[in-house]
Structure 1
Amino acid sequence: MLTHRLVRTWEVLPSRGYSTAWAELTGRRLGARGRAVGLVPEPYWVTYTLETGEDYVTSRLYVTVDTADSAVTGDTTRSLDLRNDGGRWTVDGTHRPDLDGALDCDLGLCPLTNTMPVLRHDLHRRPDGGPHDFLMAWVSVPDLAVSANRQTYTPLARDGHVARVRYASGDFHSDIEFDERGLVLDYPELATALTR
């Protein structure tokens, strides 16, 4: 089976930082590792690995965050092991029933995690489709708190190799540009790809 290896770096605006993902697409599976650095709300360094099963359904997200804690000498390191086993989610080994039924994780300030629902439903190739509603296991950065989050993706238009999909969650919405592989090119107010 053919594997596509992709690398993408984004400037991340809210954190005043950068995020790079090394991704592999094999069949209808995605594997990735990534690193990010940010200055807001405090200097931090993130590393993560992401694994999906068939149809790009998240099976595991493992994240480590290093921050400089100004109240304590030395650095602070936090980690998170988020797993989905057939629709049953655990956070560091503890079952989280509020996440059950979610198919995807969404790592805060990480444009790569917008890719899974887009690929699963071909939203970057079908600009005439209606809205798709999702329950996500959302992970905030840099504190790594996990919560259930409702999101809607609506395909809007396709122009050559670029597709626009409207992302909405609560009162927030943004028209995100994706490339032909389903990776974010431009996410207004959040991230812009530095390599296309």
Structure 2
Amino acid sequence: MATILWRGDRFSSSEYCEMAINGSGHRLNGVVLIPIDGRPAHLRYRIETDYGWRTRSVAIVSEHHPPLSMFATEDGHWWVDGEDTPAFDGCVDADLGFSPIGKSFPIRRLIRGHPDDMGLRADLNVVVLRFPEMKLTMQQQSYVRIGMDRWRYSADGFSADIDVDTNGFVKRFGDLWTAVANA
């Protein structure tokens, strides 16, 4: 099992995440401490990926929002809160707007296939949970390797550099999130 603690400067948040291998891939459990409408709050998430780091399920619980669950089939068909959601078909990952964890999945896939290739690029369709509005949208995200442990992320006119550890997990995402401890 691996653990990581992030500090989020955008939302004045802290996040603890545990990552472990399960029977069908990886399970990530996290809790985010964050102010919502000026009040202390927390969000809990569980993400399951397959062995190739493609998102298979997401569950989020918060005292300020209804619970959310998402599920993706192997062929990229999505279900949200039990409802068939063809608008997200073909999306590879889910990206939580209150956490950097979703940025690690495409990078892990790319590193696994091409550990030393500079200029490596991936353009992906991703289900994004916008925060604080907690609205799901589809977004195209791009990742380009610009250094051994650095990637350039871009989406919707925004770009930032992502520094990762040797396993491909986010150490720093622009000025939004910074890992402050990991084991």
Please indicate, yes or no, whether the TM-score normalized by the shorter chain is above 0.5. Answer: yes
Alignment RMSD: 2.0
Aligned to 2:154: 168
- The answer to whether 1:48 aligns with 2:45 is yes
Aligned to 2:27: 31
- The answer to whether 1:177 aligns with 2:163 is yes
* Larger Rg, first or second structure (1 or 2): 1
* In structure 1, distance between residues paired with 2:142 and 2:37: 27
Contact 1:103-1:136 at 8 Å conserved across structures: yes
* In structure 1, distance between residues paired with 2:28 and 2:163: 20
Aligned to 1:154: 144
* In structure 2, distance between residues paired with 1:90 and 1:142: 22
SS at match of 1:122: helix
Q: Which runs of 5+ in 2 are unaligned?
A: none
- The answer to whether 1:58 aligns with 2:47 is no
Q: Which runs of 5+ in 1 are unaligned?
A: 68-76
How far off is 1:92 after superposition?
Answer: 0.4
| Larger CA deviation: 14-23 vs 122-131 | 122-131
Deviation string 1:2-27 (CA, Å, 9 cap, x unpaired) is xxx11101111111110110011469
Aligned to 1:73: none
SS at match of 1:101: coil
Contact 1:126-1:155 at 8 Å conserved across structures: no
Q: TM-score, normalised by structure 1?
A: 0.84
How far off is 1:55 after superposition?
Answer: 0.8
| Larger CA deviation: 52-61 vs 17-26 | 17-26
Matches within 5 A, 1:18-167: 18-25=14-21, 29-39=25-35, 41-43=37-39, 44-67=41-64, 77-86=65-74, 87-122=76-111, 125-158=115-148, 163-167=149-153
How far off is 1:131 after superposition?
Answer: 1.9
How far off is 1:134 after superposition?
Answer: 0.4
Contact 2:108-2:169 at 8 Å conserved across structures: no
Q: TM-score, normalised by structure 2?
A: 0.90
How many residue pairs get aligned? The number is 179
Instruction: Name the % identity.
Output: 23
